[in-house]
């Protein structure tokens, strides 16, 4: 309960911050924790029941252009990527008169495997949850706010790197968790979505890879959708001097997944001294239908 005020959904409960402070006091935890903004999840078209169908888009942006934005502003490449995603989401929602006044809440997967856990099987993943400034009109100010928000979120997450998913589940009575079904998850995603979407940025090798003698030109990542996490996910993988984006969406929630990719390019243009050149690589449209 010590980090109840940093857990999605639970942070919005009355008295969550007071309970968290009291829990830390009881266990003698005197570490300073940066105050987090509200994690209240606004209503967007992304959240609601999803179908079995998937649309995806994919393309790449030059990593050097992103670094040229990050370095003079004293922020990380990941902060710039998050800003690009915030800008693209803002533009997409504005086009549909669906932009909320509050910032969107995103979950950012984080690897929490420790050196001593190298023999454990499978991934060890938690999630850092933070608001993204989709409500900030100016691109430069949006970048500044994103850097500040991510800085606080990272410092807060470092104090409790893998607790919130299990703590969120512990809030539910055992009879409820034992009855967990897809229908219940769908209902939870409709009534109380914990986040608007998932945004993931994975660092990769900055040299070319080969498969059976052929050079791998791009590495477009794809992720999964759930009723709880929303009908849209944006994943980025840095490879051989490029940032390769893969966007997956439920067509019932996102009617045009390719325009989001275009907005990513425009967002980088807005932050760059020079416009993004022909290094931007587009994929081809794919409509995936579950069998």
**Residue 63 CA: distances (Å) to CA of 58, 69, 156, 173, 203:** 16, 10, 28, 46, 11
pLDDT in tens, the chain (291 residues): 445 455 555 555 545 555 556 555 566 666 656 566 677 899 999 998 899 999 999 999 999 999 999 999 999 999 999 999 999 999 999 999 999 999 999 999 876 555 555 555 555 566 788 899 999 999 999 999 999 999 888 776 665 545 445 444 544 455 544 445 454 445 454 556 889 999 999 999 999 999 999 999 999 999 999 888 899 999 999 999 999 999 999 999 999 999 999 999 999 999 986 544 444 444 444 444 443
Nearest to 251 by CA among 43, 98, 48, 59: 48
Antiparallel, parallel or unpaired: β 54-62 and 125-132: unpaired
Instruction: Look at the block and give the residue holding tokens 């416009």.
Output: 275
What the block records as the tokens of 78 is: 């990941």
Residue 269 tokens, joined? 């243009």
Rounded Cα–Cα distance for residues 141 and 51 (Å): 37
User: Which H helix or E strand runs over 282?
Assistant: strand 281-282
Q: Is-contact 81 236, C-beta < 8 A?
A: yes
Q: Given this model, what pLDDT does residue 288 score?
A: 42
Please report, for residues 25, 128, 187, the alpha-carbon distance to residue 118 in angstroms, rounded to integers and kept in the order given.
34, 22, 37
């Amino acid at each position: 309960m010590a980090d109840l005020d940093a857990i999605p959904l639970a942070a919005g409960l009355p008295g969550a911050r007071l309970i968290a402070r009291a829990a830390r006091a009881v266990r003698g935890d005197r570490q300073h924790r940066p105050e987090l903004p509200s994690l209240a999840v606004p209503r967007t078209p992304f959240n609601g029941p999803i179908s079995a169908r998937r649309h995806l888009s994919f393309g790449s942006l030059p990593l050097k252009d992103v670094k040229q934005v990050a370095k003079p502003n004293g922020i990380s490449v990941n902060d710039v990527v998050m800003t690009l995603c915030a800008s693209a989401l803002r533009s997409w929602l504005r086009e549909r008169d669906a932009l909320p006044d509050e910032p969107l809440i995103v979950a950012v997967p984080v690897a929490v495997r420790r050196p001593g856990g190298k023999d454990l099987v499978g991934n060890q993943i938690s999630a850092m949850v933070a608001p993204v400034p989709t409500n900030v009109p100016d691109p430069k100010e949006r970048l500044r706010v994103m850097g500040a928000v991510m800085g606080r979120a990272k410092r807060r997450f470092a104090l409790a790197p893998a607790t919130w998913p299990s703590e969120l589940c512990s809030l539910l009575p055992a009879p409820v968790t034992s009855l967990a079904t897809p229908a219940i998850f769908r209902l939870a995603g409709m009534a109380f979505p914990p986040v608007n979407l998932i945004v993931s940025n994975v660092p990769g090798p900055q040299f070319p890879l080969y498969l059976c003698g052929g050079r791998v030109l791009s590495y477009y990542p794809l992720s999964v959708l759930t009723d709880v996490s929303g009908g849209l996910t944006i994943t980025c993988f840095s490879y051989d001097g490029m940032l390769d984006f893969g966007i997956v969406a439920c067509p019932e929630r996102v009617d045009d997944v390719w325009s989001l990719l275009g907005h990513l390019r425009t967002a980088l243009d807005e932050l760059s001294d020079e416009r993004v050149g022909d290094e931007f690589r587009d994929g081809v449209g794919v409509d995936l239908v579950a069998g």
